[in-house]
Copies of this chain bind each other. A is one copy, B any other.
Amino acid sequence: MKTIVLKQRPVGTPTLSDFELINSDMDLNPNKGELVLETTYVSVDPYLRGRMSDAKSYVPPFEVGKPLSSGIVAKVTASQNDHFKEGDYVVGMLDWKTKQISNGEGLLKVDGDKAPLSAYLGVLGMTGLTAYLGLTEIGKPKAGETLVVSGAAGAVGSVVGQIGKILGLNVVGIAGTDEKVEMLKSDFKFDHAINYNSTEDMGAALKKACPNGIDIYFDNVGGAISDAVLFNINRFARMIICGAISVYNSTEIPNSISVQPFLIKNSALMQGFIVSNYSDKFPQAMQQLATWLAEEKLSYSETIVEGFDSTPQAFLDLFEGKNKGKMIVKA
């Protein structure tokens, strides 16, 4: 049985030496009410970087020397819990362990026949919920409006753009390679996509891609890309601040242009979005996402990395933009 623990708090960009893989031999015998889980898929997500630091945030930080945790799909290999039986698959926030004991709390049974098991960590999981609820609850989209998505080829971004198209928006994606840009346009039917790495003047590129201005901005990256967006927002623009991967590894407090004058001039809104604040809307949202998936209106991409031991490396690769869509480790 393997466990991955946080060896030390990363300073700036995390490295493999911040993690430690521990092998142990232990018999896992469930007591009454407990079940034994064998990890199938591990989700790695940019927001985990925040929990590796000691700063105050909306979730408590990971502890040094203790296992990390994230969304995991696991198989029930033994059960003393009435709600789960051997052979079931479940999804939940679980430790980075190949095997573990759970009391079943917070676990959701998933059906591998309805959708691939990995989808429950992506389009039918937190990723899809984040995309759908951020866009609808804060973005309040109206057909015909223009939506810009940063980190558009990422797990959340690619779903946001597709939902935007379903809702009748003009969708412009921003990503970091020509290959991703091509995927956004051909696979996900974005109206436009911009490679920020090969674009000198993002402001001008956005102006060209959004001749009617930007009504909604779904922001996964922050930094200079978000600055460029500000110059192109419309009156009453809504900006969903969902992630800021471009600055997560900063050791200094990052600077950018002052947003306040842009907000005033345009009566615009910026709101920090955390999907867990909207848990009362999860059932309706999951239903909608599953329907769109079944109707083939929604597709998704995954980057699946093989082997539980590769989990830290897969996490590090997120910051290099090596993933297309949801980054998942197959244990």
Given contacts A269-B271, A269-B272, A270-B269, contact A260 B222 (CB under 8 A): yes
Instruction: Tell me whether A50 is interfacial, beta carbon within 8 Å.
Output: yes
Given contacts A222-B261, A255-B258, contact A272 B267 (CB under 8 A): yes
- How far apart are the CA atoms of A226 and B260 in the complex, in Å? 9
Question: In the complex, which residues of chain B have a beta carbon less than 8 angstroms from the beta carbon of A253?
Answer: 257-258
Copies in the complex: 2
- How far apart are the CA atoms of A56 and B261 in the complex, in Å? 12
**Residue from B243, B258, B274 within 8 A of A256 (CB atoms):** B258
Question: In the complex, which residues of chain B have a beta carbon less than 8 angstroms from the beta carbon of A58?
Answer: 235, 265-267
Instruction: Tell me whether A159 is interfacial, beta carbon within 8 Å.
Output: no
Name, among A242, A257, A273, the residue most crowded by chain B CB atoms within 10 Å (CB to CB). A257
| Min CB gap A233→B, angstroms | 10
Contact bitstring A227-263, B, C-beta under 8 A = 1, else 0: 0000000010000011110011000011111111111
Contact bitstring A256-297, B, C-beta under 8 A = 1, else 0: 111111111111111111100100000000000000000000
Instruction: Tell me whether A57 is interfacial, beta carbon within 8 Å.
Output: yes
- How far apart are the CA atoms of A6 and B295 in the complex, in Å? 61
Name, among A253, A255, A272, the residue most crowded by chain B CB atoms within 10 Å (CB to CB). A272
Question: In the complex, which residues of chain B have a beta carbon less than 8 angstroms from the beta carbon of A219?
Answer: 260
A40-61 contacts to B (CB < 8 Å) = 50, 55-58
| Min CB gap A1→B, angstroms | 34
B263, A272: Cβ atoms closer than 8 Å:
yes
Question: In the complex, which residues of chain B have a beta carbon less than 8 angstroms from the beta carbon of A30?
Answer: none
A242, B255: Cβ atoms closer than 8 Å:
no
Question: In the complex, which residues of chain B have a beta carbon less than 8 angstroms from the beta carbon of A266?
Answer: 58, 272
- How far apart are the CA atoms of A161 and B206 in the complex, in Å? 40
Given contacts A244-B260, A258-B255, contact A270 B270 (CB under 8 A): yes
- How far apart are the CA atoms of A247 and B256 in the complex, in Å? 14
- How far apart are the CA atoms of A131 and B102 in the complex, in Å? 53
Question: In the complex, which residues of chain B have a beta carbon less than 8 angstroms from the beta carbon of A274?
Answer: 264, 267
- How far apart are the CA atoms of A238 and B137 in the complex, in Å? 16
Q: Chain A interface (Cβ within 8 Å of chain B)?
A: 50, 55-58, 219, 222-223, 226, 235, 241-244, 247-248, 253-274, 277
4 cross-chain pairs, A with B, having the tightest CB-CB distances, nearest first? A263-B272, A222-B260, A264-B272, A254-B258
Query: Can you list 6 residue pairs at the A/B interface with Cβ under 8 Å?
Result: A222-B261, A241-B263, A243-B264, A267-B277, A268-B272, A269-B271
Apart from the given pairs A243-B264, A267-B277, 12 other A-B contacts in the complex at a CB distance below 8 Å: A219-B260, A222-B258, A241-B263, A244-B261, A253-B258, A259-B259, A260-B270, A260-B272, A262-B272, A263-B271, A267-B272, A267-B273
